[in-house]
Each structure stands twice: as structure tokens, then as C-alpha cells.
Structure 1
């Protein structure tokens, strides 16, 4: 397959070739899409091809050589899948030559022996997979090259310490790649790692990304690593380990019925957790189902699975700002953004997105390719509680949304409270991270409750919490509820209730907090989702809401330093809303007195929109007081067929506070 010539330079109005590929649902069209990712890398290979220095001179927690190894290895996920499916790529030899040079101890571009917990171990996974599924890579190395790969990929890693996380899968695939080609490997190490990874399993198809005591079930538990690699293992090691392969497929069947709730009709996934800068890797689980020959559980069909994958890739084709001027992927989500990045995101890291191309390894005769695309919405339940991740899923109101409690990253991470501790995450209204830590504008508390004891300079939010998934109400009125208890200060205790949307008010979910300010007075700020704060016509800040234009805010959106102006505030029961690309808002329904306003969030805090505002309720809890706050949170995304004047429809249909919640308020 021939790709575009090297030397791509994107200008002001030059679309990336990725956006121009007609994704018709055929395997050939997806093959072409992959080449638009691989081609721009050509100028950034080192002379011997062992390293790729992806544009973006940003430091990362590991060494520069490892960063450039990432740039070399991660695109192999896509290339290996292309080759495994019988495809061709004009630059395949670049990677063969580079692998030989990188593992040559005497060469100028030698990668260096991995140390304990070395980033090089991560990149062994796509290398091992490529060796396992594309025999031409191993054969093309030559005898001396094969010996170098054996030493570097096998001997050097099997005796090293690794993080007690999904990383263990990477060593499994290093050994598996060598095993498939008759190279020197350790079956003992391979078996021990797989056996230990089994201790991460929690039930109902779900694995945790780590041992007991850690509650982290983000995309690493599904598409980025664990489920994805379990399915690849089932395909590649099934003959030697049939019982475990069957078990991994069974788990995938169970998980598929849950994971379907994370993808909406527009093709978007719900951004949640860390590493979302891997972008379309979020959808790789679905292609892996087909690759591993999993029998789909009812009511899912291959047309639905294909639809999830194709719509997702097409949505990313509309995100024109994800590219550098050279045509390479950037660190960020819908635009370059270092605020949301993890300390392990080098310029080459985003190419983990190439996991999405596992579907290219699936034969054209498979029903994944032969089926017509279908929608899974209207087939899966509208609301579903997921015990293990601590999520309540909803596909009401035009987007898929999850309510979340209890998850937390086990180590220090930038924006960790926003990535795991927010109350709600939406496919249409992405989460926001703090670009600074001074005042609400910098904290950007989208779908979070912040508490301040210093007149609003610094804010604390939910990070660690004790969480329960419970049922409240009786009969037809019974609903799943997430209950969490957390303490932003040692002497301030919060109990939060999260209630999913109801069919009669599909754009609203309920949020209730019982705040016990035992030892200090605190200010509170309860944020809705963040939304674009630009006028459609000219990109200037939103004005007061104009029904004729179907755009604007209530109350007035002010600058960062003039929110004391009376017109910037409204009563809590009136609430605050913003209408641009859809509508979001928040209203006080019960409990203590609060006022409503718009937080003019600092730019680049949101994953999708560079300029956002956050409708917010603010109040004060005096020292020694216990106060209940109950709010309705409104969200209605823009979509085809919905006129701008309809975005705010439903705002006046305020949800009813359920009797069970009123009873709990009265009893405490």
C-alpha cells in the first residue's frame, strides 16, 4: 500500500490527510487511514531508523532515548495489525532496520539495557506482538539481528522488577513474540506473569489495574491494556493455554455488555481517567473481540461492534487540532494540551492510539467487516449500574454519561481529582483539569464540589472516598444511587449522593451533599459540566442568553476579576446555565441557601474546548453547621436534527427530589 509523500506541513486551512479518508466501513479504507498516521513519521527517524523523535521538545519522567523508543515502537501497533491482515506498507523496512539497529549493542543507536521499572519494558509489548503476528519482521532481521533482539527483548527483561500493574502484560508479550519465532524466551516467566495478573480480576468481566487496595478501572482495564491484551493472548496462546484463553473470552463477553455504555451515537467515548491522550485507542477493545474470535453476547451484533469502531474513528476525523504542523499526533485530547498530560507522556506516547487498528488483523470475511453498521443505542439499557468500577451509566438525554464514586489513582498524578474524583463524566462535555491552583477559574471545577477555608483562594475536592452502590426507592421508582463519604479537611465531612437521569427528565441528574463543617467555616462551589464559552458567529465570549439566537448564558458571564458585580449572580433556585454547543446548567433544588453564577474557567482546562464556562452554585457552611445541598445538573448536547433554539428545552422541567432522599435529609 502506498501512502502520501513525506514532508507533510499543515497550514492554517490545510486539513490533515487523516480527515480526508472516506471511511466506508471497508478494511481497505481503514488501512488507508492508518497510512496517514505512519507517513508523517518518516522525516523523524534517526539515521539507522532505531529511534523516532516525534516533534514536541517536552521532557518526560524517563530518559530521552526511551522517549524516542516510544516514537519508534508505538506505531508498530498499527503496522503489525496491517501486516497481520495481509496488508502492505511502503515503510515497513524502516521498522525492521530500526529494530536491528536498536538492539545492536555495538551500534550507535543501541537502545540500552532496561533497568528495573524501565519505560523500555512498555515498548516491548508492541515489539513482541509485531514479532508474533508479522513473521516477515523476524525473518527480515537476519541471523545477527535476531540474536540481538533475543538478548534485548528476552534475557534483559525477565529478571527485572516491574510495576505491579498492567505492565506485567508487556513482559508476557515480549516472551510471546520470541516464542512464536523459536527465539530464546522464558516460559516460566511468562506463566508466572499471567498467573499474577489473574489476581487483578474482580469479577463480572472486570479487572483492576493493580492489586488489592487500589481501585482504578479506567480504559487500562479495557481498551488500553488488560482486556485488550487478554484477547490478544487468547488468540496467540490459545492452543497452549486453552482454558485461560476461554476464560479471557468469557470475561470479554461480560465486559462488552458494560463497555457498550461508554460510546455514544456520535462516535464519542466518555473521557475518564488517565492517558486519554491515547485518543482512539479507547475503541480497541471492540476490534480485539473480532480478532480473538469471541462470540458476541446478545443483544450485541457485529454490526453494532463495527458501528462503535467506525463512528469513533470518524469522530476523531473531525478533531482537526490534534496534529502538529508536521502532521504528527500531539500530546493532548482534542487539541495540544500539556495541562492534562501525565508525567509519562512523551511526544511519542500518543501513538498508543494505534491499538485501534487491531481490526486490520481481522480477516475480510469476518462479520465485523461484512456486516452493515448498526447502532447499539435503543438496544442496551438506558441506565445501568456497574458494581466493580463504581459507575452508573446513562445513555439518556443525547449523550452517554457515567456517574462515578470511589476510584482514585494510587500515586501522585497531575489533575488526579479531576480524572477520577469528579461526580459525572460525559461523552459530549469532557472533563476539565486545573491549569493552576489559585481561585475557581484555575481549579475549573467541572462536575466537582470544591470547598475553601481561605475565602476562595485554594479549593479542595473529592479525591479519596469510601463508596457504595446502593438502591433507593421501591418498585418502579427504585433506582441505583452512588453514595460516597469523603473529607476535604480533617474536620469537614461530606456525604455525596449521585442519582442518574430519569426518562421523564432525561437531561437532568441529581447531586446531593450533606456537609458537616465540624471544625471550620467553608465556602462551597458546586460545578456543572463545562461548555464552550464562545459565540458561534465570531468566537467572542458569550452574551446574556438570547432565545432568538439560541445562545448565551444566565446570569451574565463576567471576566475573571469582576464576579462581585450584582448582574453576575442569580438565586440558586433560578440556577445558572450556558448555551453554545448544546446547553449545561445547575439549579439548587433543596437544602441550604446558595447562589448561582458562571465560572470563567482558565483557557485550556477542558479536554475538548479551549475556552469554557462552568455554571456553578456557591454557598457557605458555618463552623459547627451541618447543611444539605441538593442540585439538579442539566446537560443537553448539540446534535444533528436539533435546532439551536431547542438546546435549552427541558431546563424548566426540573426533576423532582425523590421521597427517599427527602426522608434521609429529614433523618440526619
Structure 2
């Protein structure tokens, strides 16, 4: 780590110049090392003169100061660099980070990072720094005597005397202390122990921890790959000799959780986007590298070939997302493309590099079965439908579709688009969730897999956010979810979510609402999954989907119209006939009313652009109706999805309508 790195060369991506990230053939450990290098290299031109900061392209502001944003820029890539170096790999510009850390913690220096205050973003970035110190001794050694003293003050004293959010953040302080401890620096064992003990109160059972104390139901990727499970496993590896019992417990939880978490990844490698911070992209797969790094024995029927397959297929899928880069080759804020609508108020231009957690697999020795095993698909051995009591999810992989039904979680603090990120009824690996780019009319709300209610004629819509939910089992053993919620103080909704039944009707799942409009009349809009609204047909030249044409294998029914032609008769169909959209490469989605009568109409909502995480242009098949003041109604919806297979078969299940279970029929009849 003492060699002089070459002068950084910028990467300019033009019209037909793919990112090097997408050109690497992934199969071996060395190819994943090369993948990381392609991610780090574009950052080099954006180092500050003294190397203590990285100012990634983009001038967007966040809730913390610009200096912290640039500290984020240099520290987050350390997740990848540290894993690379710890695993015996090398990087030609590794010295940049050592020099940057030395200058960043110098309180008299021109590029001092600044002493943290309470709840400071700098505390988050202390976690990858602490981990890097723990696994790469050359960083500590390269700082020199003054640099080490400065680091002890900045990293240890500051974080140990400040307040932190009562969330996964506490793990960041644990790793700050652990990094110093591993190098003989000044740290607080008392604070470290107290934080780990408090983090234990987040544990809920079945291997799952909540991202916060009791009273909060938030179990997203922070509970697994982004923070809690991931850091528990790293802690078990690095501190297990001091706390063997706790390390064994963390590994046991990972074994239990692994059998649940495997359901979040489909056969193409895509994960199911759910919750906040999905702009961290391939960090969603980091749990699996961590379970190998911590030497956890896999629970049956999982094998290391399956684990390797999950990781490698996931990285390969991200290689196909060519629009997620800036023209300089750096990661953008967004998911499959740059998107500020889905971003959190803490997503700075350097924020996406939390994705480097995925490279924990590079710290795994090349002799480990994670690397020596042949890739396998895990879906041949997992049950196609599985209820997860802790997150309140029913996981489904049937009919070429991997998705989940959700009881309705809720973030404990204001979160942009929180109702879409946590309150949706279903989340799919094929049809990602949508967020509202505006708050005026259905087109801006983009109610994919949500029920919206409006009391002002359709200008503003309320959806499920806070709810009381239950996971139950039907008489035939099938799991289902019930949630009760109130979009308005005097409007009551009880929602039933039933997974598909394997067989002829497996492309459908049920969504049933019992609505009592006690104090006001409300309009309703019930959306299916959102699908790409950009034709692949040569004659259409990328325009919106036309009316369904069986001979072309693409289109919508009824007609998809613009946002200003809502009165067009051909844009509406009877609710029982339903609405669907078929895309030549993305499959088919739809929704139809099964409650009898004609109390709802079907149409295609032409969602505002950039509302969806993956597709920048989408259409949402939707059922619309009105519930009069004082009225009670039952809405029974069949939600259709078939994302895979042969294009001519995308609609093969559309007219194979499932039968509502007898127990639910009886419940509807009793209360009607």
C-alpha cells in the first residue's frame, strides 16, 4: 500500500459506450474483483486535492452538510476496497484512501472532516471505516503516529460521547470501537457492550430483528443485508473469540433467516424491491456473502452452490442496468436509472456506494465452498408459498413470478413515498414498486399495488400507511393476511390478501376490501402491478402501448389514453372484464373485479414518467369505483401477473379466473 498510484483517468460514457461494469463476464472470484475495480476507478477523478473527500457528480442537497456528503463519498467505497484487500486482492489506488483518512481526521488540516455532533451523518460513515481498520492492518499502519492519534480522537471519542438514533445506527458505533480495538487504539469497551446489548432488544424472533425498538414494525433490507444481519455476522467473525456465545447466537439467527431471505431473489437474480434505501442496489444481496465470511453452516436444503448462485445472478442482473450511471461512470441516485423521486432525504451523490457491501464475498477465501461450488438455483427446493410472521410477508414464487404480499409495515419517521415503500399490498421482483412524482390525480400518485381513496373528486388520494395487521391460516392451510386501516377518520377499510393457488390459476392472487364509508363519499382506485409502457414493436418506435393486438402480442385492454382524455369511452371497460397490459418482453399484468354486478370500472392509468423504480414509463391496470356516504361495500379483485415464459403465453391464464375460497365467501355473505 505504499506504491504511488497512477494519475486518475476520467471515464466518459457516450451514446454507445457501455460502462466497464457491464462488460465483465462474471464466474470467478477474480471476475468479481474486476467488477469492484470497475466501480472504484470512476471515483478517482473526484477526490479532493488532499484525498480526504470524494465529491461525486451531482449537486443535490441532503439533510446533512456538504462536508459530510463528501465524507460519505470516500468512506462508503471502503466496504468494497476493504473486502478486496482483506481477501488478498489489490487495488492500484488504495493509497488514496489511506492518505485521505490521514488528512480527513487532522483537526488542523485544510480538509478536516469536522467533529461530529449528535445524530451526525459522519457516524454512519464510521462503520465502513471501522470495518476497514479491523480487516486491513495496513490502513492503521499507514497513518503514522499523528494520524493514528487524530483518528482515535475523531473516530472513538466523538462517536462515544454523542447521541445516536435508536435504530441500526448503533451498529455503526460498535464497529467504530471494534476497528480501534483491533489495532490497539483507544476505544470504549463499555460503550461497545452497551450498544450490542441494546441492539438485542430489536430482536423479534425467527432470526429477524426490527429496525428499531418496540412499537415500530419496519423489517426491510436494513434488517438483513443493509445493516443488522450483515453487521451481526461481521461481528461474529471479528469478535467471536471474545464473545463465543453471542457469535453462535448471531450465526443461529442467520441460519433461520436464510431460509426466509432466499425467497426475496428470483431465478434471474433480481431481488424484490421493498422499503427504503433501495438505491443501494446490489447491497440487497450482501447477506449471502456475509454468511460465508462468518463461516456459518448453511441450513438444509440450502447449499453453497445456491448461495453463490443468488449472489452471482444478482450482480449479473445489475450489469444489465445500463442507465444507472452518470456520464462520468459513477453510480447515480436512483435504481435502474437516475431518479430523485424515489430518493430519501439522506441520499447524497455518494450515498449509492453503500452498494459496496455486496463485495463482502471478496473477503471470503478462494478455497471456501462459496467460490469452489458450481452455481445452483435455489427455487427447486424452496416452497413456492411461505408465510413469514415477523415481517408480515407471504412469499410467492409461482407461474414465473416471484413476489410478496405485505401486511403493511410503516417507517417510524417521515419518509418520502413511505406509503408506497411500506404500505403497498404486493412487491414484485419483475414489476418494481412505484412512488408518487406528484400529488395531484392518479397519474401522479401512480398507485401500483395500492388502493387509493379520494374525497375530493379524484385530485388527492389516501392509501394504506398505518394498519393493524394479522397473518392467518385458512382452513385448507393456506396463509393469508388481514389489515385494517383508515384513510380518513370516518372511512374504514379491511383488506384481505390471498396468495395464488398452484395450478391453472397461479397467475392470480386475491385482494379483497371491505369498505365502510361511514362519514363521507369516496372514490376508489385499486391498482395492479405497473408494467413498462414503451412498445418494443418496430412500427411503434418506442411509443406508448397501443390497443391490444393478439397478432402482435402486445397492447392494452381497454385502450390506454393520455392524461387529458379521461372521458374517452373506449378507455373504460366493465370491471368484470377488467384491464390488462401486455409487453412483448416484460409479460402481462392486469386486474379484474370479481365481486359481481358492475360497481367498478376498469381502465389503464398512464402513470407519470419516472414514478417506477425500474421502468421510466409505466401503465397501471386499475379498477375504479365510488362508495357513497354511509355505504358498506365488498370489493373482490383478482390481480394478474405473468412476467416470464413465451410471449404468446403471457395472457394464457387471464381467463382462468380463480374461485374465491368458501370461508371468505361466507364472511362476505354474513356481513353483506
TM-score (norm 1): 0.98
Mean Cα deviation higher: 49-58 or 592-601: 592-601
C-alpha displacement of 1:406 = 3.2
What is the deviation of 1:478?
2.6
User: Which residue of 222, 234, 247 corresponds with 2:224?
Assistant: 222
- Aligned-pair CA distance for 1:155: 0.8
Measure the CA separation in 1 of the matches of 2:508 and 2:351: 37
1:609 corresponds, among 615, 619, 633, to: 615
Which has the higher mean CA deviation after the structures are superposed, 654-663 or 597-606? 654-663
Q: What is the CA distance between 1:13 and its match in structure 2? A: 1.2
Secondary structure of the residue aligned to 2:254 is helix
> Unaligned 5+ residue runs, structure 1?
none
Out of 345-354 and 404-413, give the one that drifted further: 404-413
1:390-418, Cα deviation, whole Å (9 max, x unpaired) = 00000112121110013100111110000
Note if 1:636 corresponds to 2:642: yes
Is 2:241 the partner of 1:239?
A: yes
CA displacement at 1:11 relative to structure 2: 0.5
Aligned length: 661
Equivalent position of 1:509 in the other structure? 509
- Per-residue CA deviation, residues 119-150 of structure 1 (Å, 9 max, x unaligned), is 00000000000000001111111111111111
Aligned to 2:493: 494
Structure 1 residues 22-33: aligned runs within 5 Å: 22-24=25-27, 26-33=28-35
SS of residue paired to 1:402: strand
Change (3 A) 1:4 1:339: farther
Q: Within 5 Å, which residues of 2 pair with 1:461-476?
A: 461-473=463-475
Match of 2:311 in 1: 309
User: 2-side partners of 1:447 and 1:271: how far apart?
Assistant: 13
* Matched-pair contact (CA < 8 Å) for 2:474–2:480: yes
Structure 1 pair 658–238 and aligned structure 2 pair: CA distance change class (3 A): same
From 319, 344, 347, the counterpart of 1:345: 347
**How far does the alpha carbon of each residue in 1:394-448 deviate from its partner, in whole angstroms, 9 at most, with x for none?**
0112121110013100111110000000000000000000000000000000000
Aligned equivalents of 1:399 and 1:158: distance in 2?
A: 47
Please state whether the residue corresponding to 1:352 is helix, strand or coil.
helix
Rounded Cα–Cα distance in structure 2 between residues aligned with 1:470 and 1:484: 11
1:94 alignment partner, SS class: helix
Q: Give the whole-Å Cα distance in 1 for the aligned partners of 2:527 and 2:542.
A: 23
Change (3 A) 1:559 1:94: same
Q: Is the 8 A contact 1:266 1:311 kept in 2?
A: yes
* Pick aligned residue for 2:592 from 587, 592, 597: 587
Describe the SS at the equivalent of 1:81.
helix
1:541 has 2:581 as partner:
no
SS of 2:470's partner is strand
Q: Which runs of 5+ in 2 are unaligned?
A: none
Tell me the residue number matched to 2:664: 661
Q: Within 2, Cα distance between the matches of 1:661 and 1:288?
A: 43
TM-score, normalization: structure 2? 0.97
Aligned position for 1:6: 9
For residues 548-627 of structure 1, the aligned pairs below 5 Å read 548-580=551-583, 581-590=586-595, 593-627=599-633
What value does the CA root-mean-square deviation take over the aligned residues?
Answer: 1.1
Partner Cα separation in structure 2 for residue 637 and residue 264 of structure 1: 12
The runs of at least 4 consecutive aligned structure 1 residues that moved more than 6 Å come to 1-5
Alignment match of 1:647 (pick from 650, 656, 669):
650
Partner of 2:272: 270
Q: Which string of whole-angstrom CA distances, capped at 9 and with x for unpartnered residues, describes residues 76-113 of structure 1?
A: 00000000000000010000000000000010000010
Distance 1:6 1:665 in 2: 67
Query: Contact 1:549 / 1:644 at 8 angstroms: preserved in 2?
Result: no
Give the distance between the partners of 1:225 and 1:412, measured in 2 at CA: 20
On the 8 A contact 1:78/1:354 being kept in 2, the answer is yes
Answering whether residue 410 of structure 2 is matched by residue 408 of structure 1, we say yes
User: Are residues 1:39 and 2:41 paired?
Assistant: yes
**1: CA distance, partners of 2:160 / 2:8:** 40
Secondary structure in structure 2 of the residue aligned to 1:356:
helix
Following superposition, the deviation at residue 5 of structure 1 comes to 6.2
